[in-house]
Structure 1
């Protein structure tokens, strides 16, 4: 007779604490981990984990599934990569609170900031809410293949309280700040896990307007943080250009000093100032040394735009000649690009755009690469489009066009625009090794036609833990700890991220030797037939959420035990007693 719900047999268990792995069995009963060690009893389901690794389910703290969670139950691509808990509502954008007259305004903001097309959101969003507690109540009735936690987005909050004045970035009055603080307190009391905001010019509406939160005052930000302080719960998440890193780091420190709430900020290397991240990281490390809860969210690979004929952008997007065919069906577009006369016209054309960033980006052939199988996110200089063109004796544009036309017109180019200024991931390694850094910034669910980074966890295991040749690797136990217990505890999800009796049975069985990240592909499964990039992996033997197997060999089982997480989650009583 079966004595356990599930038994994982003989795997090399990385428990999430950072300790060295041990070979053992793991039992699951009633949705929690019940025993570690040698198990003689049988499970209703037995999973042979011999020769494989067993990890806690991964916790991704930086996603944008705010819309997808309202119409879908499969939170992919994240759920395909061992992730069992996600935090959405980052970067100050989301869909609640929102009045009826502001629906389109928030859609345009999400369309511009996160590259999710207007028709997708207009058709997909049910808008069955106005307040943030209403939004949580709606999500609370839904089922998912991961657990979901939501943050209160500043842009939606600001527009809700200030209307057009908020959207136009006017300064908030004392009364408006007090109302935002009240609503922030209400949101976290209802189950929001935190509050997020954006201060970057990269975040714009689809019609080019900066995000409503760009120039919000320190008084406004502090006031909202004090709303969380009054509730005694919730984290703060910031993204900024950090044009004056010392000044902004000092402001963030003052906000944490005043509110006592944990604050994380996005940290990346920018080409315009490739060493400024060091100052910001140093300021956060000093704050942490002084006892302040501050952290830096960092990515395990470059943040890179994918360029292709089926995607939002390709290297000819700003060319008048290309615009002649840009609206044609895909197959016809590819056919025209293969015609010698049209090809010659296109290659002789020049980009026309008033967007200097776009013009430079689409001509950065010296740091643009072909994305090929096996996927390599730390390519060397010999693999640039510029180097390929030189070897072929053709122009950069001709080489890029030929590469995009591969695979029946679905070839992709990869342009790292953050974290690759010197063509190496050594700066990322330094960020990842900092005690104040957290793995994040995957943006799962966003940038659906340009970026596909919901697969960060697989890169973490394969590139950093197994394959890297252009520099030192990192210990698997360290990498897994960061993506499980460390991210979980930062968000207050103290019931998960550790393989120990009493903890949530969120688990992965991974064939690390054969773990492989596949090339991104385009699929048309969003509302209104919308397009999105999807990246899969092989090697995830099983993913378990709340004691139910949700994926076997990368294929969904149909189980949807995932639910909305309302705020922080307490550590198991057994664990607290043991401590």
Structure 2
């Protein structure tokens, strides 16, 4: 099967590079006055005005003309709009495109799709058109998932694809890439992704290589097997000929806090030294969040989720599951309970059941005691089953600040929340997980790791949320403040900036960010959401005319 491509696919299809000498004439749509302008490339700030016209940055410097809207930025920083490199808003934007919790933390661009798109490959083009038609306040791009393709072709049970099934999966990838997805993403900790082998993923992913695609991954193991997980990600990237992005880089293994992350950093640096285009993103909290289903061993899901439910109801099978938890690390399964140090460090976040709602933000161990359940595992699985068809969510106290700081200092690390927009502002995000990262992640990067801990400089923190992720994703028309580029701009007061969301108040927005511009329009003005929806769908290289995979 041959691939027919245009000559060059280095940038996303929406990019329009301004001609040499391009400039706007006349007065402007917006003029930002007297701010400390950080260009996003890591340079120190300069005092300047920024003029915006027709969705682009028209002038940086002394602006003599007037704006239809004037923003006084004296004493505040003016930066490119912040990019969330690991977003979860693919579904919720169809219900509410305002993404207010994202705007209030300074974010203007979302890169989503850890689990793929919310629609099948054949419907992605229509899905993107729907977002553009109904309107979104932020820019949005998404990955497709090889696991999504596998499930459509093979179902959710274990097993190896036949040659014809592999062709069918590759065909779905081509359809998704032609529709404009940015690459392929896996979440190999979750069945049925767990059942995909390294070679299977290489064979599926290599189809997307001509599209300047990224292979992004929630690795197979982020705990005891962290280094093996990174090695596999590198092998997939090298084997398929694509860039590699490690989602939410972390070392979630309590017995070796402070020991695994230096080795992880070395693996990435060594791979980059030999020419592998690999990088990572992180969220800024020492605890993760996901469903309670991951506390059961992988073998439980080998025959599909419906069969897994039967096993989880069987006392004899539960005895075997509990024994596996006590064994510690096992091949092919991230033993989350063991890795975080026991059920005391697994916190119920959202049971989706009124019986257990009173226990939110209590540990599974404490809830088991309160309910008179001898083994916390039984309590966890009872909560999981009672929530179906919804997904009971938990917080896992899984990280150490030493490892967070080690990773964050790496120049190739960007910032991603692993959280979605909220359908209703002030409530939990589209994942159904009340984790503070949905409301505070980007702001916390500066408030915690620049202001309070002095881990990063302000210039580098901004770079990690602007020019670096834009460069990484091929978004050549945004990510820095340059005349002629798209006007995505975040304005904040450094002294006032503070992330306020935490476990006890996860849906609290930060302070200090009052003005945000997307594609030349104010979407947050004087601390109020304007209702404007100027966001664009950001599409990958194979969506460009004449660039389609065949």
- With the length of structure 2 as denominator, give the TM-score of the two structures: 0.72
Say if 1:57 and 1:85, in contact at 8 Å, map to a contact too.
Answer: yes
Query: CA 1:437/1:358 → structure 2, altered by over 3 Å: closer, same or farther?
Result: farther
| Shift, 1:156, TM fit | 2.2
Q: Which residue of 1 aligns with 2:165?
A: 176
Aligned to 1:62, the other structure's residue is in SS state: strand
Cα distance in structure 1, aligned partners of 2:138 and 2:529? 12
Cα distance in structure 2, aligned partners of 1:251 and 1:348? 42
Deviations 1:424-459 (A, max 9, x none): x23212111113322224323454343131221110
Cα distance in structure 1, aligned partners of 2:168 and 2:481? 42
1:221 to 186, 201, 206: 201
Say if 1:493 and 1:569, in contact at 8 Å, map to a contact too.
Answer: no
1:234 aligns with 2:207: no
2:178 to 171, 175, 189: 189
| Shift, 1:220, TM fit | 1.4
2:510 to 537, 541, 553: 537
1:292 aligns with 2:276: yes
2:468 to 474, 479, 486: 486
1:450 to 434, 440, 443: 434
Cα distance in structure 1, aligned partners of 2:135 and 2:483? 26
Query: CA 1:353/1:63 → structure 2, altered by over 3 Å: closer, same or farther?
Result: farther
Aligned to 1:81, the other structure's residue is in SS state: coil
Deviations 1:398-441 (A, max 9, x none): xxxxxxxxxxxxxxxx9662322xxxx23212111113322224
Structure 2: state its 5+ residue gaps.
Answer: 1-24, 291-342, 360-366, 382-393, 421-428, 544-550
Say if 1:55 and 1:507, in contact at 8 Å, map to a contact too.
Answer: yes
Aligned to 1:517, the other structure's residue is in SS state: coil
1:426 aligns with 2:402: yes
Cα distance in structure 1, aligned partners of 2:370 and 2:531? 52
| Shift, 1:68, TM fit | 0.1
Q: Which residue of 2 aligns with 1:13?
A: 37
1:435 to 411, 419, 430: 411
1:355 to 377, 383, 396: 377
Q: Which residue of 2 aligns with 1:30?
A: 54
| Shift, 1:358, TM fit | 5.2
1:263 to 228, 244, 249: 244
1:522-561 equivalent positions in 2, closer than 5 A: 534-561=507-534
Say if 2:281 and 2:416, in contact at 8 Å, map to a contact too.
Answer: yes
| Shift, 1:477, TM fit | 0.3
Alignment root-mean-square deviation, CA: 3.5
| Shift, 1:517, TM fit | 2.4
Say if 1:521 and 1:534, in contact at 8 Å, map to a contact too.
Answer: no
1:67-466 equivalent positions in 2, closer than 5 A: 67-90=91-114, 92-97=115-120, 131-162=123-154, 164=155, 167-200=156-189, 203=190, 211-229=191-209, 231-240=210-219, 241-242=221-222, 243-266=224-247, 267-270=249-252, 271-274=254-257, 275-304=259-288, 327=354, 350-353=372-375, 355=377, 417-420=397-400, 425-444=401-420, 445-454=429-438, 455-466=440-451
Cα distance in structure 1, aligned partners of 2:288 and 2:205? 32
Deviations 1:22-45 (A, max 9, x none): 111111111000111111211111
| Shift, 1:357, TM fit | 10
| Shift, 1:153, TM fit | 2.3
Say if 1:269 and 1:427, in contact at 8 Å, map to a contact too.
Answer: yes
Query: CA 1:327/1:315 → structure 2, altered by over 3 Å: closer, same or farther?
Result: farther
Aligned to 2:86, the other structure's residue is in SS state: coil
Deviations 1:519-570 (A, max 9, x none): 46999xxxxxxxxx52312211210001100002332011111132222599
| Shift, 1:12, TM fit | 0.5
1:497-516 equivalent positions in 2, closer than 5 A: 497-516=479-498
Cα distance in structure 1, aligned partners of 2:109 and 2:347? 39
Q: Which residue of 1 aligns with 2:9?
A: none
Query: CA 1:521/1:430 → structure 2, altered by over 3 Å: closer, same or farther?
Result: closer
Q: Which residue of 2 aligns with 1:402?
A: none
Cα distance in structure 2, aligned partners of 1:551 and 1:293? 35
Cα distance in structure 1, aligned partners of 2:281 and 2:289? 19
Say if 1:265 and 1:297, in contact at 8 Å, map to a contact too.
Answer: yes
Cα distance in structure 2, aligned partners of 1:477 and 1:329? 45
Higher relative contact order (CA 8 A, sep 6+): 2
Say if 2:516 and 2:525, in contact at 8 Å, map to a contact too.
Answer: yes
Cα distance in structure 1, aligned partners of 2:236 and 2:368? 52
Say if 1:181 and 1:224, in contact at 8 Å, map to a contact too.
Answer: yes
Answer with 513-522 or 268-277: which moved more: 513-522
Cα distance in structure 2, aligned partners of 1:318 and 1:467? 26
Structure 1: state its 5+ residue gaps.
Answer: 99-129, 204-210, 307-313, 335-344, 360-413, 524-532, 571-579
Corresponding pairs, count: 435
Query: CA 1:568/1:17 → structure 2, altered by over 3 Å: closer, same or farther?
Result: farther
Q: Which residue of 1 aligns with 2:338?
A: none
Cα distance in structure 2, aligned partners of 1:458 and 1:498? 18
